[in-house]
Amino acid sequence: DAKTTQPPSMDCAEGRAANLPCNHSTISGNEYVYWYRQIHSQGPQYIIHGLKNNETNEMASLIITEDRKSSTLILPHATLRDTAVYYCIVRVQTSSGSARQLTFGSGTQLTVLP
Amino acid sequence: DAGVIQSPRHEVTEMGQEVTLRCKPISGHDYLFWYRQTMMRGLELLIYFNNNVPIDDSGMPEDRFSAKMPNASFSTLKIQPSEPRDSAVYFCASSLSLRTGRLFFGSGTQLSVL
């Protein structure tokens, strides 16, 4: 059973904010939301993660709804190099947890248009 | 640090031949992961190691696949004999711990079995 649901594809104009949604309605209280992206012909790259508070780093911002059933990854000023598949993953943050919890689904293909 | 280094970048072989993929994790990372990516099945975790010890190999598709980690700075994934359905991109990743959920991926090996 998929823990997350993402749209298969999205377009965004260069220089505009890209808002990528993710539904995780069955998320547990101790599960974090992670975002990775995969640029064509490269390995996945970690972007950001959070539990319930909004998070921001040099790459993106993560907005998690108060009920934690959905989240949005925001790339504030998208560039052509942000064209990639974006994966939303939920997992328990524990050292005893299996690595299989970090499951990459189909993701969202974001295309940044010039 | 140069990041996770995989070799070769591309491998073309004939059915029945032995294939060996190599990976050098980031220095100091205790966890090493092997993933396979295909269009049909997406990104699948094959096996992962902790401190050079295999922890979970339930994703290894068949006995034809084997992985070793003789020391902290080197791992191999071997397929013997190879089959056309093994054609895929194989990624190696490393991590400081499972707790962080932050994996660092290599650039992958594109394997084509003819």
Q: Residue A103: pLDDT band by 50, 70, 90 thresholds?
A: confident
User: Residue A99: is its pLDDT beyond 80?
Assistant: no
- The DSSP-derived string for B41-108 is TEEEEEEEEETTEEEE-TT--STTEEEEEEETTEEEEEESS--GGG-EEEEEEEES-TTT---EE---
Question: Chain A: residue nearest B5 by CA?
Answer: A43
Find the chain B residues whose C-beta atoms sit closer than 8 A to any C-beta of A: 4, 31, 33, 42-43, 45, 48, 55-56, 58-59, 91, 93, 97-108
Cross-chain Cβ contact A99/B107 below 8 Å: no
H/E stretch holding A103 = none
Q: Residue A96: pLDDT band by 50, 70, 90 thresholds?
A: low
Q: Show residues of chain A in contact with B90, CB under 8 Å.
A: none
C-beta of residue B90 within 8 angstroms of C-beta of residue B34? yes
Within 10 angstroms of residue B111's Cβ, the number of other Cβ atoms is: 21
Q: What pLDDT score was predicted for residue B17?
A: 97
Q: What pLDDT score was predicted for residue A33?
A: 93
User: Residue A2: is its pLDDT beyond 70?
Assistant: no
Question: Chain A: residue nearest B35 by CA?
Answer: A43
Cross-chain Cβ contact B56/A100 below 8 Å: yes
Does A99 contact B at CB distance below 8 Å? yes
Q: What pLDDT score was predicted for residue A105?
A: 87
Task: Give the mean pLDDT of B38-62.
Answer: 92
Question: Chain A: residue nearest B38 by CA?
Answer: A106
Nearest by Cα to B90 from A43, A37, A32: A43
* Distance between A17 CA and the closest CA of chain B, angstroms: 25
- Cβ-based burial of B82 (10 A; exposed 0-12, middle 13-18, buried ≥19): buried
Residue owning tokens 């295909």: B38
Q: What's the CA gap between B97 and B100, in Å, rounded?
A: 6
Question: Chain A: residue nearest B106 by CA?
Answer: A43
Peptide bond into B54 cis (omega under 30): no
The length of chain B in residues reads 114
Residue type, B35: Y
Cross-chain Cβ contact A43/B55 below 8 Å: no
Residues contacting residue A62 through CB under 8 Å, at least 6 positions apart: A33, A35, A48, A49, A50, A54, A55, A56, A71, A72, A73, A74
Least confident of A99-103, B32-36, B102-106: A99-103
Cross-chain Cβ contact B98/A99 below 8 Å: yes
Q: What's the CA gap between A70 and A3, in Å, rounded?
A: 11
Closest residue to A91, CB basis, from B93, B101, B105: B101
